[in-house]
Chains A and B, each alone.
Chain A
Amino acid sequence: MSRAWEAVIGLEIHAQLSTASKLFSGAATAYGAEPNTQASFIDAALPGTLPVPNREAVRKAIQFGLAIGARIAPESVFARKNYFYPDLPKGYQISQYELPVVAEGVLPVRLEDGRTLSVRIERAHLEEDAGKSVHDAFHAETGIDLNRAGVPLLEIVSAPVLHSPAEAVAYLRTVHTLVRWLGICDGNMQEGSFRCDANVSVRPRGETRFGTRCEIKNVNSFRFVEKAIEYEIERQIRALENGEAIVQETRLYDPARHQTRPMRGKESADDYRYFPDPDLPPLRIVPEDIERERAALPELPEARRRRYIEAMGLPALDADQLCLDRATADYFEAALATLAPQAADPAAAKLAANWVLGELAAALNEAGLDIAAARVTPTALAQLLLRLREGAISGRNAKEVFAAMWAGEGEADAIIAARGLRQISDTGALAAAVDAVLGEFPAQVAECRGGNDKLLQFFVGQVMKRTRGQAHAAQVNALLREKLAP
C-alpha cells in the first residue's frame, strides 16, 4: 500500500455461543442436522410464540466481557432489528442496540513483528442467528432451513483501530483463541460458528476524518479475511486516486477471483426501526452474578503465557505455541505436575514442552485428532519423561516407547520392560561393564592412554555391545574418560 494512504479497519465478529439450546428457544443447536428438524415453534415464528432467554448464553457473554476487562452492563436491553428476509422468520432479529450486555473493553494483540497492539473492543452483545438460504438445490426457488435460526451469537465489535490486513488477522486470531479458550465458542469457521465482517475504508495519511467505508461480509477463513481486506484496500485506493468516490455498500469476497464485489439484493440502507423488544424486560445482572463468573474464569491465555515464560523459564516461542489452545496448555501443565510436582523446574518444563509440541503434536496431526482425544494421557507421558530424566531410557528409545504407548501397548514402564529398553545407568553395573571391556582389550587401552582419542568410540561401542545397547551412553563416555586418563 502506498505510504500516502492509511487503511482503517474495524471487525465485527459473530461468535456462535456453544450452548446446547438456542438463545430464545429450547431447540437444539448441533450442526449438520436435517433441514428444519431443529426449529421449534418459536424459531418458526408461529403466531403466539414468545422468546425466553438462555441463562448459559448470558453467562458466556459475561465471561467474554470479563476476559477483555469490559464493564458488564447492570441492565441491558434486547431490541428488535426489523427487516424482511426469508431466513429471518419473525421479520425481525432480536439483538441488542443501545444497551449491550458488554461495554467497552481491551484486547492485547501480539503481532508477528513483535509489537503488541491494544485493540479497543467497543462492545459485545447477544443476538440470535438467522436461518440458512440454499440457492442451488432448487430450480427456480430458494430453500430455507431454520435450524440455525435462533442460535445464540455474541457480536464482538472492534473500534476502527486496525490499520493493515496483518493487524486485522492477528486481532481475529486472538479473539478466536480467546473464545475457544473460555469455552464459549468452538471457533469452527468452516461450520460457520465464527464469522467475521470487515469494515474497510482508507484515508490520506495524517487525515483524522474517516473515509467512506465498505463492509465485507461473511469471510470464513483467516486467509480469506486477509486477502479480502488486502483487495478492498487496493480497490479503494485505486478508485480514489482515479478521482472516483467510494460508494458505501456491502460486498462479498469471491475466493475464486480474489476480489470483493457488491452484494446483490440486499437493501443498501435499510431502516431497521430498532426498538426495545416488548416481549423481553431488561436483562439485569447483579454484582454477585459477575463475581461468580469472574471466580470461574480460567487463567487467560496472556497471563498463562507470561507465567510460562517468567515462572517456568520457557522460551517465548514455546509459550506462544502452548497457549494457542487451552487444552494444549492444560495437557502440558498436567504432564508437568506429575513430572515435577515440587518446586519450579525449568528443565522439566522445557522437557514437557518439547514433547507436547513435538512428539505429541506430530502424533495428533498424523491421526487427525484433537488433543482432547490424545491416545496418551498427560500422566502417562509424564511417566515416560520421568524415566527419560532419570536416565533409565535413552532419548531415541523414549520416542519408540511413546509410539508404542500411542498404539495402545500400555504404560511406559511396561513397554520398557517388555522390550528390554531399560538403559543401564547404575554406576556400579556400568563400571563393571567398562572394566570388563577394558580388561578385554589391554592393547587398545594402552594406545588410547598414549594419545589415540579415536579409540574412545571403539570402547563405547564395545560397552554398548556388551550391554546389548542398554548402557547409558553419556555415563559410559564419562566413565571411560576417567578410566583411560593418562
Chain B
Amino acid sequence: MTVVELARRLRGGAVSARELAQQALDAARRRADLNAFIALDAERAEAAASAADAARAQGRDTPLLGIPFAHKDIFCTRGLRTTCASRMLADFVPPYDAHVTERLDVAGAVLVGKTNMDEFAMGSSNENSAFGAVANPWDGTRVPGGSSGGSAAAVAAGIVPFATGTDTGGSIRQPAAFCGITGLKPTYGRVSRYGMIAYASSLDCGGVLARTAEDCAHVLAALAGHDPRDATSAQRPVDDYVAALDQPWAGLRIGVAREYFGAGVDHGVAAAVHAALRALEQQGARLVDVSLRNAHHAIAAYYVIAPAEASSNLSRYDGVRYGHRCANPTSLEDLYTRSRAEGFGAEVQRRILTGTYVLSAGYYDAYYLRAQRVRRRIADDFAAAFAEVDLIAGPTTPTPAFRLGEKSGDPLALYAADVNTVAVNLAGLPAISLPAGFVDGLPVGLQLIGPAFAEARLLAAAHRLQQVTDWHTRTPGARP
C-alpha cells in the first residue's frame, strides 16, 4: 500500500491510524528475519497514532496524517535511542529532534521505529552495522544495499509505506534500486541536516524511500525548506512537488550518459534500463546522447573527500561527553584511543584513517585539494550537459543486489559499486532511483538526475513512468 492509498483509506474511515500503526509493528516483528529495524517503539507509535486519529476527527486532513513510517537510525529522535548502527552510540538517547524528525512529527506521520543502516552511513550493503546485516526482501541471501538498507527493506517488505534515508554517495538510491522501490535524493541543502548525524558534510542529503514517486513527493513536501539551524540549508522557496507531478512535459529531453553504461554494467541491467527509457520516449520524452567526461574519476574523488570530512566529523566521539567510553582509562590518550577503537567498526576506522591521510601535512594538496578540483570538473560536466537536456538517465547500479558476504571482505569492490551514484553527490544534484524491471527476479533501478532544485521535474518524470509501467507495484513473495 502506498502513502496515497493509505491516506484514502484513513480519510474514508476504512481504517484508523492506530490500526495502521499496529499492523506496521506486527509486520516488523514478523519480518525480524530481515533485521531491518534497530529499534521499534510501540508506545510512541501508539501515542502518535492516537493523536493522529483525534486530529482527523477534528477535521484535519493532510497527506501524511496517521501514516506509519520509519526513520533511518541516523536522525536524532528525542528520547528515542539513535545509534547510527554503531557501538559508539549504542546507548545514545538524543535530547533533541532532528529537523526531519520534527517535520514528519508536525505532518502527523506515525513513527514506528529506527531502521538499520551501515555504521555512520559508511557502506553500500548494510553489512557494516554493529547490529548485524540486513537482508534483501527479494532474496534473503542478498544485500538490500546501503547505507539506508534497513529503510529500503522495510518499505520493500511492506512494513511501512515510506522511510527516511540519507544519501552521501548513493545511500538512498542504491538500496532503492536493489529493493525495487523508489528512492529520492534531493538537492544538497534542500533538506536541513540539523540533527542528521554527520558523515560527510558537503555530501550528506536527507531524503525518502517509498513505493512511488507520488509518495516521495508528499514526503519531500514535508521535509524540504530552509532551516536557520543549518548554515548550508537552501533559502530557495519550496516547489509544490505534488501539484507538479502531472505537469505537462512533451519534449522533455533526457540525456543518456554513455559513461553510465560502461563495461562493468550487467547486460540485463542495461537492457532493463533501456526498456524503461523507451517507455519514457513513448510518453513524449526525447532521448539524447550525452557524455560526462570525468565520470570515471568520481569514485576516486569521493573516496578522498568523504573520508576526509568524516575523519573530522567523527573526532567528537571521544568518550568524554556521551557515547561509548572504555572501562578504566589509564590516561587521556588511553581514554581516546580505546574508546574510539572499541566504538567504531572496521570500515569506519578505515575511512577515518584514509581521511586523516589525505588531509595530513604534505598530502593535502595532492589529495584533498586535487579531489576538490576534480569535483569541480565533474560538476561542470553536469552543468554543460544540462544546457542540452532536462534530465540525465542511466542505471542506478551496475548490477542487481549482490550476495551477503560477497564483497564485504574487499572494501574496494564495494566502493566500485557506487560508480553511477557518487558523482551526483559531488555535484550536489537531485536524483531519483525508480524500479525499471528485473534481472533474474532481482529488481533493477533507473536513475534520473536533475539540475539543482529540479526535484519537481524528476518526480514528474518518474510519476509518468509509473503510470504506464507496473514495476513499482511488484512486491517480493513470501520469504523462502
Interface set of A (CB-CB < 8 Å, partner B): 41, 44-53, 80, 82, 84, 86, 89-92, 142, 144, 271, 273-275, 278-281
Contacts and interface: CB of A to CB of B under 8 A. Distances in A.
B198 A47 contact: yes
Given A47-B76, A48-B195, A41 B95 contact: yes
A46 B312 contact: no
Contacts of B312: 80, 82, 91-92, 273, 275
B194 A49 contact: yes
B449 interface: no
B444 to A, nearest CB: 33
A273 B360 CA distance: 5
A49 B312 CA distance: 14
A278 B201 contact: yes
Contacts of A92: 312, 315
A273 B96 CA distance: 31
Nearest to B101: A48
A50 B201 CA distance: 10
A45 B364 contact: no
A281 B231 contact: yes
Given A273-B356, A273-B361, A47 B94 contact: yes
Contacts of A279: 198, 201, 231-232
Contacts of B308: 275
Nearest to B316: A45
Nearest 10 Cβ contacts at the A-B interface = A91-B315, A278-B201, A273-B359, A278-B202, A45-B316, A48-B195, A47-B197, A271-B361, A48-B197, A48-B76
Contacts of B92: 47
B364 A50 contact: no
Contact of B364 (A89, A275, A280): A275
Interface centre among B84, B94, B200 (most CB of A within 10 A): B94
Contact of A46 (B94, B359, B360): B94
Contact of B230 (A50, A86, A142, A275): A50
Contact of A51 (B94, B231, B321): B231
A101 to B, nearest CB: 16
B260 interface: no
A275 B196 contact: no
Contacts of A44: 321-322
Nearest to A78: B231
B187 to A, nearest CB: 15
B193 interface: yes
Given A52-B231, A271-B361, A278-B201, A84 B336 contact: yes
Contact of A89 (B84, B196, B321, B336): B321
A281 B94 contact: no
A271 B94 CA distance: 32
A357 B200 CA distance: 59
A49 to B, nearest CB: 7
Tell me the interface secondary structure of chain B in the complex. loop
A49 B230 CA distance: 9
Contacts of A52: 228-231
Contacts of B194: 48-50
Contacts of A41: 95-96
A84 B318 contact: yes
A51 B193 CA distance: 11
28 contacts: A46-B95, A46-B96, A47-B82, A47-B84, A47-B92, A47-B322, A48-B75, A48-B76, A48-B197, A48-B198, A50-B229, A50-B231, A80-B312, A82-B312, A82-B359, A84-B336, A86-B320, A86-B332, A89-B321, A91-B314, A142-B332, A144-B320, A273-B360, A275-B364, A275-B368, A278-B200, A278-B232, A279-B201
A278 B309 CA distance: 8
Contacts of B195: 48-49
B98 interface: yes
Contacts of A86: 318, 320, 332
Nearest to A39: B321
A142 B332 CA distance: 10
A53 B82 CA distance: 27
A145 to B, nearest CB: 12
A92 B311 CA distance: 11
B89 interface: yes
Nearest to B194: A50
Given A48-B94, A48-B198, A89 B316 contact: yes
A53 B231 CA distance: 8
Contacts of A91: 312, 314-316, 318
Contacts of B332: 86, 142
A274 B92 CA distance: 29
Contacts of B231: 50-53, 279-281
A48 B322 contact: no
A23 B86 CA distance: 31
A143 to B, nearest CB: 11
B407 to A, nearest CB: 28
Contacts of A142: 332
Most A Cβ at <10 Å: residue of B92, B193, B315: B315
Nearest to A52: B231
Contacts of B96: 41, 46
A82 to B, nearest CB: 6
